[in-house]
Structure 1
Amino acid sequence: MKTLYAALLAGSISAFALNSARAQTEAPAESAAFKIYRETPTKINDLVHTKLDVRFDYKKRYLYGKEWVTLKPHFYPTDSLRLDAKGMDLKSIAIVKNGKNIPLKFTYDSLTVNIKLDKTYTNAESYTVYIDYTSKPNELKSKGSMAISDAKGLYFINPDGIEKDKPTQIWTQGETEGSSAWFPTIDKPNQKTTDEISMTVPNKYVTLSNGRLASQKVNADGTRTDTWKMELPHSPYLFMMAVGDFKITKDAWRGKEVSYYLEPKYAPYAKDIFGFTPEAMEFYSKTLGVDYPWNKYSQIVVRDYVSGAMENTSATLHGDYVQATKRELLDTYYGQGPSTIVHELFHQWFGDYVTAESWSNLTVNESFADFSETLWAEYKYGKDAGDAHIYEDMVNYLSQPDAKTKNLVRFHYNDKEDVFDVVTYQKGGRILYMLRNYLGNAAFYKGLNIYLKSNAFKNGEAQQLRLALEEASGRDLNWFFNQWYYGAGHPVLNISYKYDDATKTQTVYLAQNQDGNAFILPMAVDIYAGGKKTRYNVWMRSKADTLTFKVASKPDLVNVDGDKVILTQKTDAKTLEEYVFQYFNAPLFLDRFEAITAAGKKQTDKGARSVIIAAMKDKYYELRIKAIKAADLTNDDVRNAAQPILVNLAQIDENTLVKAAALTALGKLKAAGNMNLFKQSLNSQSYAVQGAALTAISLLNPAEAMPLAKQYEKDSQGALKQAVLNTYATSGSDEQWNYVYDAFKNGQPQTQVNIMRKFADFTARVQNPAYAQAGIKAIADFGAKYKKYGVGPQVVTLLTNIKAERTKLNDAASATAADKGIADVNAAE
């Protein structure tokens, strides 16, 4: 699963609220529940096969189901069966004997049903229980989380067809334990079962489920019954159904069906969105030495999804953020769409083929899926792209203050949802990156191959991963797993240097300043001296260590962690001169990133300026953008050197985001000589480039920008729409209010945050008091809804400023509305 939580960490809400990173992950007050050891669920009965026959009541939002579930005792004989069944009407439960249903006694508490079997069964016997039930997901009092915002399992989207521009759909979400909201089961990850699901739906709709479409039967009442069969065992949380008006685009990998289910509007772009999937299946199959294990792979995009995406076995479900036109995709460089697609695909091995035996060991699912994003970036876009992606993981983890208190394998938590966090995802991915570097590619991937084959169609945990990697490499890894998997935190590393010319000795002082024990850190130290680089492989085993190296002359650079793999919060005492050398001589993304960061702080220095200017032409686009944003164009020397490069980048760079960044930088100069460039850039097919150009024009000549914004009002997405909104919010009048208000009120959180401050300014100055009051309410609603992410104080400040401005306009009613909005935000939980 790729969670909304992960998206929010890197996204807009955390940027809006300076304290939001803390607010997002502050642990709840330690409760009695937190102190409970979360053991792996005991197996009394094992699922063997699950057969479902379901139909839907769109008006009532009900599922009417019949189930035949086959089980057998795990080891000890038993005469009872307990199933998870959340919020259902259980009409009858029977044992199936010789084709007949013999009623069984049961008790039900609305969450689980305890069934008295007809006799005591041994683990040499299987039995089948029949259940006639009704699922009522909208009546279920379910609790969502930051990772998965809702947990009712089954979702009816626009079932009455009354919401404009929204299709009618049904889809399911099983993780963590939501499947038992739509069929009775043992809803635990350490269960595995084959399945058969028959769905009776209106004939106009398409269905999707796990496995193969075994049959379709057209019924006399205008419905159709589709039967899907999954003939390999998988966990109940990975069951899925989807129903709706989807257009299917077919693809293939080694003769297996690969298909993409999209709303008809986006079907022409199916190959643009998902078309690299077969290539990724081939890459991962070869890398792991285990071919894609299921008989097909489908991907479907649905509306109103409650998380990011979900790796249902052979049938991944995506939120609608991945749907985009060819033009919108011009500005997508790996990012959330493609990275999510490969993340969910990799789960088909790590998560579906071998499944975490408990939520405590979720790392063997999610850390691998996170790491797979880096693997694909390296393969498809080059090492810089992979290094950039995994570095972002580390930054996201380090930005969460309480993450350092949580083990990766976590046997104590308040709620199972709590483990879907930056520790399991981003930290776990970075740890695997370190482990691959330590073992080497060949041994690391051999270990993964052993782990997958040893546990195929079963469950795994971190200890089994350790044993597989030890078998492959011949190296003991207890030290690594004890500190990174079964311990919390990370090293806080200080690095300083001294060269003694008399003894020709370079000394490196290493100090770990975190609380607790020292981390054992194998690392490379690269010394650049006399025109060559010498590598030393060293181990840091204590809180403080001193390394000495004989070097004939003072080194130009000592580069600790030469492979840039250690997960650490680092303070490095390199001089600016050394960072300048590092940019031009050390090879890796993070080498250059660190140098640009250091140079950006001292642009009065000639060497620092040389880094910033050179980095504008760096081979990797993110570093070009970083240099553009870092350039101090108020410095004459920087501006004179940078401006012709920026103009050139804006015109010919192959990357649209670099072009947009260059236009944005030029726009801030407000130089009339660039107006033609800005106008020419409006002809780009890239929304990012057009948006940057329109924003630049609005800074240079607001009056000229207004009619241009009107021209692009209807045909705008992404950055261009943002620019239109910003232009209106900055320079518009009541005439533009409705457009801006609708975009804010109905926009995604990204849109709302991007325009928040300007929308507040617009609300403060608009002439119509009714408009002002509507704007105040929309801002207050946002503040109340997202207060848990730390935005409350910022929203209150905006509302306070609006009140002051409306008071100056003698608009008492709007001032009163602002007071109410402030009170509502403060009162929100």
Structure 2
Amino acid sequence: MLAAVFTSSQAQTPQPEDPALKIYRGVPTKVNDLVHTKLDVRFDYKKRYMYGKEWVTLKPHFYPTDSLRLDAKGMDLKTIAVVKNGKNFPLKFTYQDSLSVAIKLDKVYHNNESYTIYIDYTAKPNELKVKGSAAINDAKGLYFINPDGTEKDKPTQIWTQGETESSSAWFPTIDKPSQKTTEEISMTVLSKYVTLSNGKLVSQKNNADGTRTDTWKQDLPHSPYLFMMAVGDFKIYKDKWRNKEVNYYLEPKYAPYAKEIFGMTPEAIEFYSKTLGVDFPWYKYSQIVVRDYVSGAMENTSATLHGAYVQGTARELLDAYYDDGRSTIVHELFHQWFGDYVTAESWSNLTVNESFANFSETLWAEHKYGKDVADEHNYIDMQNYLQSPDARTKNLVRFHYADKEDVFDVVTYQKGGRILNMLRNYLGDAAFFKGLNIYLKTNAFKNGEAQQLRLAFEEASGLDLNWYFNQWYYGAGHPILDISYKWDDATKTQTVYLQQSQDGQIFKLPMAIDIYAGGKKTRHKIWMNDQNDTLAFKLDAKPNLVNVDGDKVLLTKKTDHKTLQEFAFQYFNAPLYLDRLEAINAAADKQTDNDGQKILIAALKDKYYGLRSKAIRTLKLDNDAIRNAAQPILAQMAQTDDNTLTRAAAIKALGSLKASGNLNIFKQALSSQSYAVQGAALNAIGLVDGPQAMTLAKGFEKDNKGGLTAAILDIYATNGGDAQWPFVYQQYHESGPQAKFNSMRKYAALAGRVIKPEYAQQGISEIKAFGITYKSQGAAGIVVQFITGIKEQRQKLSDDASVKVADEAIKEINDAK
């Protein structure tokens, strides 16, 4: 799964320790094992019900038993019976908590015999009282989207979301990742709709009442949380990998762009199959895009489900680079091996699912787009982990947590992916990928944990890795590393001082140190084993650069006391993305220094667009020397850079100068096919000539997405009023969570300024809904600030009705669970 979150600068309020953290979360005891699950379901759109019949086959795991407990959340259970020779014999059961059902079997069963239970039930997901999490914001399992067709421009869909333990909201099962079962699902739907589920579509039967029954079979075992269904008006684009089906299910509007969105999938399947030495194991691979998804994406076996953000028109995709959907596509694909083929035996060991999927994003980026893209992706993820205030206290393998949903965090994803990247660097590619091959083949269609992963790597490499797993998997935190240098000209000795200053354990760190001297680079492989290490190197002359962690793979918060001159040498001579980024960062606050200027101006022409964009954002154009050197380069970039986001960044930087002489560049950019470039140009014009920007914005109301939409909203929120409100409100309402958060300040300002009270109240309602939905992610504080600001503006306008609505909204946010 890829979690959907928004980036907030709001600090999290420290909470008292939850008593639940003291509970040991081991692998659930196995009394019975799932063997096969057969479902026959139909849907009631009006009631938001699913009527189901289930035949679930089980056997005792080891010890004899005469009882069975199934997870079944919020259902009406009408009949539970054991099936004998094709006949149903009712069984006694208790279902008191509406979460699980205890069934008394007809006899004592042993582990050499199986039995089949029949259940007739009704699933009522919309009546289920469950809570989501920061990663997965709902947990009702089965979702009816626009079931009455009353929401304009929104399709009617049904889809499921099983992770973590929500499949049991739509069919009774043992809802644990340690269980594996084959599956057969028959869905009766309106004949106009398309269906998708796991495995193979084995039959379609047209019924007399205008419905159709589709039957899907998954003959290879997988965990219940990976079951899925989807129903709706989807167009299917048929692709293939070798002789297997690869299909893309999209809304008709986006079907023409299926190849642009998902077309890399067969190439990625081939790359991962060859890299892992295990061919893609499932019958087919389908991807479907749905509305109102409760997270980012989900790796259901052979049928990945994506949120709507991954799809786009050809114009939208011009501005969609690796982290705008493509990384999600390969993340979920890699789960088909790590998560589906071999599944974490418990949520405590989620790292063997999610850390690998996160790591795969870097792996594919390197293969497809080059090392700079991969290293940038790697660095951003590391920063996301390092900047999370409480992440350093959490183990990667986590046997104590308050809620299983809490494990879906920056430790499991971003930190875990970086740990695998370091291990790959330490072992070398051949041993690392041989280890993955051993792990997958040893545990195929079963469950795995970190210890099995360690054993596989040790078998492949012949190295002991207990030290590595103890400090990175079973310990918390990361090294805080200080690096300083001293050159002794008398003895021709370069000394490097390494110091770890974090609380808790001292990390063993194998690393490369590259010394640049006399026109060549010499690599030294060393181990840091203690809190303080001193390294001495005899050289012929003072080196130009000592580059600690020459491979730039260490997961560490680092302070490196190089001089700016050394960073300048590093920018021009060391090869990696992070070498150049560190130099740009060092120059950021030293733009009056010649070396700082030299770095930044050179970085405007860096080979990698991500660093060109970074350099643009770093420039302080109020510095005469920087401005004079950068302006002609920015003007050229604004017109010709081959990356749309870098062009947009250059236009934004030029716009900040508020120079009318650049208006022609901005106006020419308005004809770009890139929404990002158009948006930057419109905003730049707005800084020079607000009324002209308002007029131009009106002309883009019918065709705008992404950066252009944001620019129109920005200009209208800054300069507009009641006439612009309907457009602003509609666009804001339809925005994703991150876009909403980014533009909330100006949206709130306009809501406070409009004349009509109903407009102000619409604004308050939208912001309130965001605050309640994302309260668990720290949104409540800033949302209340914005609503309070609207309230103060409405008081000045004597709009008592809106003031009352604001007060009620603040109370609802504060009271929300």
TM-score normalized with structure 1 length: 0.96
My pick for the range that moved more, 73-82 or 376-385, is 73-82
CA RMSD of aligned residues (A): 1.7
C-alpha spacing 1:774/1:102, structure 2 compared with 1 (3 Å): closer
Name 1:64's counterpart in structure 2. Answer: 51
Name 1:668's counterpart in structure 2. Answer: 656
**1:35 and 2:22 matched:** yes
SS of equivalent residue, structure 2 residue 661: helix
Measure, in 2, the Cα distance between the counterparts of 1:304 and 1:270: 20
- Deviation (angstroms), 1:112: 1.4
SS of equivalent residue, structure 2 residue 254: helix
Name 2:719's counterpart in structure 1. Answer: 731
**1:456 and 2:444 matched:** yes
Task: Give 1:185's aligned amino acid.
Answer: T
Measure, in 1, the Cα distance between the counterparts of 2:414 and 2:815: 33
Measure, in 2, the Cα distance between the counterparts of 1:796 and 1:90: 43
2:486–2:494 Cα contact (<8 Å) kept:
yes
C-alpha spacing 1:72/1:780, structure 2 compared with 1 (3 Å): closer
Measure, in 1, the Cα distance between the counterparts of 2:376 and 2:520: 26
Measure, in 2, the Cα distance between the counterparts of 1:43 and 1:781: 42
2:682–2:697 Cα contact (<8 Å) kept:
yes
- Deviation (angstroms), 1:748: 2.5
**1:649 and 2:637 matched:** yes
My pick for the range that moved more, 90-99 or 540-549, is 90-99
2:133–2:776 Cα contact (<8 Å) kept:
no
**1:298 and 2:289 matched:** no
- Deviation (angstroms), 1:353: 0.4
SS of equivalent residue, structure 2 residue 343: strand
Unaligned runs of 5+ in 2: none
5 Å matches for 1:436-585? 436-585=424-573
- Deviation (angstroms), 1:817: 5.6
Deviations 1:117-176 (A, max 9, x none): 222121111111111111111111112111111111111111111111111111111111
C-alpha spacing 1:106/1:786, structure 2 compared with 1 (3 Å): closer
My pick for the range that moved more, 732-741 or 126-135, is 732-741
Measure, in 2, the Cα distance between the counterparts of 1:730 and 1:707: 14
Name 1:209's counterpart in structure 2. Answer: 197
Task: Give 1:199's aligned amino acid.
Answer: M
Pick aligned residue for 1:357 from 345, 363, 377: 345
C-alpha spacing 1:104/1:787, structure 2 compared with 1 (3 Å): closer
5 Å matches for 1:273-284? 273-284=261-272
Pick aligned residue for 2:218 from 225, 230, 237: 230
**1:432 and 2:413 matched:** no
Task: Give 2:624's aligned amino acid.
Answer: D
Unaligned runs of 5+ in 1: none
Measure, in 2, the Cα distance between the counterparts of 1:382 and 1:542: 35
Task: Give 1:38's aligned amino acid.
Answer: R
C-alpha spacing 1:47/1:692, structure 2 compared with 1 (3 Å): same
- Deviation (angstroms), 1:532: 1.1
**1:686 and 2:686 matched:** no
**1:95 and 2:86 matched:** no
Measure, in 2, the Cα distance between the counterparts of 1:77 and 1:811: 72
Name 1:83's counterpart in structure 2. Answer: 70
**1:257 and 2:245 matched:** yes
Measure, in 2, the Cα distance between the counterparts of 1:771 and 1:51: 51
1:493–1:513 Cα contact (<8 Å) kept:
yes
Name 2:2's counterpart in structure 1. Answer: 2
- Deviation (angstroms), 1:741: 2.9
Deviations 1:512-552 (A, max 9, x none): 11111200000111111111111110001111111111122
C-alpha spacing 1:73/1:554, structure 2 compared with 1 (3 Å): same
5 Å matches for 1:41-440? 41-109=28-96, 110-440=98-428
My pick for the range that moved more, 635-644 or 781-790, is 781-790
- Deviation (angstroms), 1:403: 0.5
Task: Give 2:92's aligned amino acid.
Answer: K
Measure, in 1, the Cα distance between the counterparts of 2:264 and 2:562: 42
- Deviation (angstroms), 1:260: 0.4
1:447–1:473 Cα contact (<8 Å) kept:
yes
1:107–1:113 Cα contact (<8 Å) kept:
yes
1:368–1:428 Cα contact (<8 Å) kept:
yes
TM-score normalized with structure 2 length: 0.97
Pick aligned residue for 2:699 from 694, 711, 714: 711
1:681–1:693 Cα contact (<8 Å) kept:
yes
- Deviation (angstroms), 1:79: 1.5
Measure, in 2, the Cα distance between the counterparts of 1:499 and 1:322: 52
- Deviation (angstroms), 1:753: 2.3
2:137–2:773 Cα contact (<8 Å) kept:
no
My pick for the range that moved more, 747-756 or 793-802, is 793-802
C-alpha spacing 1:361/1:509, structure 2 compared with 1 (3 Å): same
- Deviation (angstroms), 1:826: 5.0
Deviations 1:683-733 (A, max 9, x none): 100000000010111111111111110000111011001111111111123
Task: Give 2:131's aligned amino acid.
Answer: K
My pick for the range that moved more, 247-256 or 146-155, is 146-155
Task: Give 1:570's aligned amino acid.
Answer: K
Name 2:729's counterpart in structure 1. Answer: 741
Task: Give 1:215's aligned amino acid.
Answer: S
C-alpha spacing 1:152/1:771, structure 2 compared with 1 (3 Å): closer
SS of equivalent residue, structure 2 residue 220: strand
1:517–1:543 Cα contact (<8 Å) kept:
no
- Deviation (angstroms), 1:373: 0.4
My pick for the range that moved more, 754-763 or 420-429, is 754-763
Measure, in 1, the Cα distance between the counterparts of 2:183 and 2:809: 51
Measure, in 2, the Cα distance between the counterparts of 1:311 and 1:755: 31
C-alpha spacing 1:801/1:565, structure 2 compared with 1 (3 Å): same
Measure, in 2, the Cα distance between the counterparts of 1:754 and 1:589: 28
1:73–1:126 Cα contact (<8 Å) kept:
yes
- Deviation (angstroms), 1:747: 3.0
SS of equivalent residue, structure 1 residue 264: coil
- Deviation (angstroms), 1:771: 3.6
SS of equivalent residue, structure 2 residue 668: helix
- Deviation (angstroms), 1:752: 2.2
Measure, in 1, the Cα distance between the counterparts of 2:460 and 2:398: 26
Measure, in 2, the Cα distance between the counterparts of 1:457 and 1:801: 55
2:136–2:295 Cα contact (<8 Å) kept:
yes
SS of equivalent residue, structure 1 residue 562: coil
Moved over 6 A (4+): none
- Deviation (angstroms), 1:750: 2.5
Pick aligned residue for 1:696 from 674, 678, 684: 684
Deviations 1:14-40 (A, max 9, x none): 1xxx324x36xx6x5323321111110
Measure, in 2, the Cα distance between the counterparts of 1:277 and 1:103: 48
Measure, in 2, the Cα distance between the counterparts of 1:823 and 1:192: 45
C-alpha spacing 1:737/1:582, structure 2 compared with 1 (3 Å): same
Deviations 1:249-275 (A, max 9, x none): 100000100000011111111111001
Name 1:19's counterpart in structure 2. Answer: 10
C-alpha spacing 1:724/1:493, structure 2 compared with 1 (3 Å): same
Task: Give 1:500's aligned amino acid.
Answer: D
